[in-house]
Structure 1
Amino acid sequence: MITLDDDTVDALFHALADRTRRDIMRRVLAGEHSVSELAVKYEMSFAAVQKHVAVLEKSGLLTKRRSGREQLASGDVAAVRSVASMLTELEQVWRGRIARIDELISSQES
């Protein structure tokens, strides 16, 4: 399991907290897209989409490369897996707590 520092975890969850950024991630995980192609999909300015892409890139969820005049964005599957792993760990903690509560309730009923 990969252990990430608190700043990295904060950046990942901040990036995913916005619905437009989550939608951009769905698109770039399915395949590489130019930032221009992405911008056409949203009712906001090109600059606003660029800012969303920059937040995703800074968090490590997305990478960009230049191809001629275009910037091509693609999702980083390993980064998404690290987020999924963190959520799984949190779920296990809560499931353990719920199981302990259930045990306490059962022992008091007996």
Structure 2
Amino acid sequence: MQAEFDERGFGWWALEARETGEFIGRAGLDEVGEDMPFTVTNGACCLIAGGGTTTREGKRVDCGCDNDGYLYGYPNKTAAVWNISYPAPGSDTSVSTPITKMYQ
């Protein structure tokens, strides 16, 4: 754990009970991977599809969501808040929406 912390500047810490010094768990930060589920602003939990994907309305579907929705493309990670696109209802256009949570 210390080597990863030194290399990246962040990582995991061991947690101890203040009164006894007993090890009680770990906490910290880790890198976000492409295969982690995420939540978008409407509350839907989504996951990037692996392997072969399908198309809808002539566009490649890259993510499926627990509300039977789907997303196009991969998260745009160039800004502090990541975004991803979804099909606008009743339209041929895509709408960008913020990703609100990433899970590990």
Give the TM-score taking structure 1 as reference length.
0.21
Instruction: Please identify which structure carries the higher strand content.
Output: 2
Give the TM-score taking structure 2 as reference length.
0.22
Which protein, 1 or 2, shows the higher relative CO under an 8 Å CA cutoff with sep ≥ 6?
A: 1
